[in-house]
């Protein structure tokens, strides 16, 4: 019973975090500085998610690791061709290749 | 763009991420059972909480017998960055009926946001823009439920580690790099990336949230200076 209560509580917490600004939209006039932050949410949040996955191995920075250099390959491919599937394909190809080499 | 096209666009944008999410879901199912959570509750968690890393944490804390409020607070911290997504998509969802807002908020995960946001920004005026987010959200939801179910059914067997989780950072790279079109964007990415690595040791993923905030501020300050 406590487990289900806890689950529902955590579900509500998660939901209201995701609902917060959607619910507030139109109810208040956001400040200028706040509006200037918003265009950077995708870049900042998704980079924060991705970079530790490339650089950290077991919690410490590793320069010689397949994920980092496969990620660099993907960044280069994405910058040159702006194609999602090509980026993911080249990234994985580099990852598997480097795993054999390193 | 029709309703159907918008939905299909959202689903398609999310599909590569399922490669990384599916093994994660299977492992969650296994870990939840190992923490002593009954199969039905482990499955229900995936639709009631519906948040990958928070569910892992929840399973661990339940297994360790942590107090209720501490557990809920930790789950909140882990998911705090979703408030940023909420702020980011809110203008696109303005004037939608309440039931749509509730549904899309429920589906607003890292992956769904990442898949949908470039398209939402490209077509903010499309009357069916919200169907893009719904498509991404639904595809992730279905994939998460299915992979959790497989994990719960497998029980004690962990799947072989093929490194498929690498699909997630790769897809984020594929999404973010084309969005960086000026120095402010580049600085936002660098700021967020550096801080995320420096603060990776902070508990409950709070480093991620702080890193994202730093990126936002750096980007906004530089874009203002450029303007």
Q: What is the ipTM of this complex?
A: 0.95
What pLDDT, in 10s, does the model give residues B52-95? Answer: 899 999 999 999 989 999 999 999 999 999 999 999 999 999 88
Q: Are residues A65 and A89 in the same domain?
A: yes
Alpha-carbon distances of B132 from B27, B125, B188, rounded to whole Å: 28, 13, 26
**Does A40 contact B178 at a Cβ distance shorter than 8 Å?**
no
For the four alpha carbons of B151, B154, B156 and B157, in that order, the dihedral sign comes to negative
CB A20 within 8 A of CB B86: yes
Average pLDDT value over all residues in chain B: 94
What pLDDT, in 10s, does the model give residues A57-100? Answer: 999 999 999 999 999 999 999 999 999 999 999 999 999 999 99
Average pLDDT value over all residues in chain A: 95
Residue B227 has pLDDT above 80, yes or no: no
Residue B161 has pLDDT above 80, yes or no: no
Q: Are residues A52 and A88 in the same domain?
A: yes
Q: Are residues A15 and A58 in the same domain?
A: no
Q: Are residues A66 and A88 in the same domain?
A: yes
**Crossing angle (nearest 10°) for helices A41-55 and B110-122:** 140
- Nearest one of B179, B57, B62, B38 to B114, comparing CA atoms: B179
Cβ burial B30-57 (10 Å sphere, 16+ → b, else e): bbbbebebeeebbbbbbebbbbbbbbbb
**The token pair that represents B163 in the structure block:** 């490194």
> Hey, is the C-beta of A50 within 8 angstroms of any chain B C-beta?
yes
B177 closest CB neighbour out of A22, A48, A78: A78
Q: Are residues A64 and A16 in the same domain?
A: no
Residue B150 has pLDDT above 80, yes or no: yes
**Does A3 contact B41 at a Cβ distance shorter than 8 Å?**
yes
Residue B225 has pLDDT above 60, yes or no: yes
- Between the two ends of chain B, the Cα-to-Cα distance in Å is 33
Determine the number of helices (DSSP H) and then strands (DSSP E) in chain A.
5, 2
- Nearest one of B183, B147, B129 to B17, comparing CA atoms: B147
Q: Are residues A56 and A96 in the same domain?
A: yes
Percent of chain B with pLDDT over 70: 99
Q: Are residues A58 and A88 in the same domain?
A: yes
- Nearest one of B130, B111, B87, B156 to B19, comparing CA atoms: B111
The count of structural domains within chain A is 2
Length of chain B: 227
Q: Are residues A76 and A95 in the same domain?
A: yes
- Which structural domain, as residue segments, surrounds residue A90? 39-101
Q: Are residues A87 and A56 in the same domain?
A: yes
**Does B188 contact A15 at a Cβ distance shorter than 8 Å?**
no
Judging contacts by C-beta atoms under 8 Å, the chain A residues touching residue B166 are 53, 67, 70, 91-92, 95
Residue A6 has pLDDT above 70, yes or no: yes
The C-alpha atoms of residue B106 and residue B98 are separated, in whole angstroms, by 12
The C-alpha atoms of residue B148 and residue B27 are separated, in whole angstroms, by 8
Residue A69: predicted pLDDT: 98
**The token pair that represents A81 in the structure block:** 């061709």
Rounded to a whole number of angstroms, the distance from the CA of B145 to the nearest CA of chain A is: 15
Q: Are residues A22 and A44 in the same domain?
A: no
- Nearest one of B1, B22, B3 to B139, comparing CA atoms: B22
The mean per-residue pLDDT over the stretch A1-23 comes to: 94
**The token pair that represents A54 in the structure block:** 């490339």
Q: Are residues A7 and A49 in the same domain?
A: no
Residue A1 has pLDDT above 70, yes or no: no
Residue B224 has pLDDT above 90, yes or no: no
The C-alpha atoms of residue A28 and residue B90 are separated, in whole angstroms, by 12
The model's confidence at residue B28, banded by pLDDT at 50, 70 and 90, is: very high
Q: Which residue has the tokens 């790279």?
A: B173
Run of H or E including B205 = none
Q: How many CA atoms lie within 13 A of A99 on its CB side?
A: 11
Q: Are residues A43 and A83 in the same domain?
A: yes
CB B31 within 8 A of CB B54: no
Residue B163: predicted pLDDT: 85
CB B61 within 8 A of CB B85: no
Residue B158: predicted pLDDT: 73
Residue B2: predicted pLDDT: 92
**Does B197 contact A3 at a Cβ distance shorter than 8 Å?**
no
**The token pair that represents B102 in the structure block:** 């509730």
> Hey, is the C-beta of A72 within 8 angstroms of any chain B C-beta?
no
């Amino acid at each position: 019973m406590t487990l289900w209560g806890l689950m529902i509580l955590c579900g509500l917490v998660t939901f209201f975090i995701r609902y917060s600004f959607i619910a507030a939209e139109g109810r208040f006039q956001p400040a200028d500085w706040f509006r200037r932050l918003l265009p950077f949410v995708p870049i900042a949040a998704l980079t924060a998610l991705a970079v530790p996955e490339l650089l950290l191995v077991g919690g410490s920075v590793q320069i010689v690791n397949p994920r980092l250099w496969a990620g660099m390959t993907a960044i280069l491919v994405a910058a040159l061709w702006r194609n999602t599937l090509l980026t993911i394909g080249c990234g994985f190809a580099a990852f598997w290749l480097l795993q054999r080499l390193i | 763009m029709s309703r159907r096209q918008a939905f299909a666009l959202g689903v398609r944008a999310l599909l590569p991420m399922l490669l990384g999410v599916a093994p994660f879901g299977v492992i969650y199912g296994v870990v939840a059972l190992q923490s002593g959570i009954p199969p039905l509750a482990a499955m229900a968690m995936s639709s009631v909480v519906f948040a990958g890393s928070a569910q892992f944490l929840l399973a661990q804390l339940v297994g360790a017998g942590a107090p209720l409020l501490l557990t809920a607070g930790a789950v909140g911290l882990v998911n705090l960055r979703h408030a940023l997504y909420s702020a980011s998509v809110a203008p696109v969802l303005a004037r939608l009926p309440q039931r749509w807002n509730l549904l899309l908020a429920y589906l607003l995960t890292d992956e769904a946001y990442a898949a949908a946001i470039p398209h939402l920004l490209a077509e903010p005026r499309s009357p069916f823009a919200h169907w893009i987010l719904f498509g991404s959200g639904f595809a992730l939801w279905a994939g998460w439920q299915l992979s959790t179910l497989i994990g719960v059914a497998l029980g004690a067997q962990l799947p072989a580690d093929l490194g498929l989780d690498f699909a997630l950072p790769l897809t984020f790279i594929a999404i973010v790099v084309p969005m960086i079109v000026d120095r402010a964007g580049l600085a936002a990415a660098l700021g967020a990336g550096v801080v995320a690595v420096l603060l990776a040791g902070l508990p409950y993923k709070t480093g991620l949230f702080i890193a994202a905030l730093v990126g936002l501020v750096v980007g906004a300050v530089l874009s203002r200076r450029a303007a």
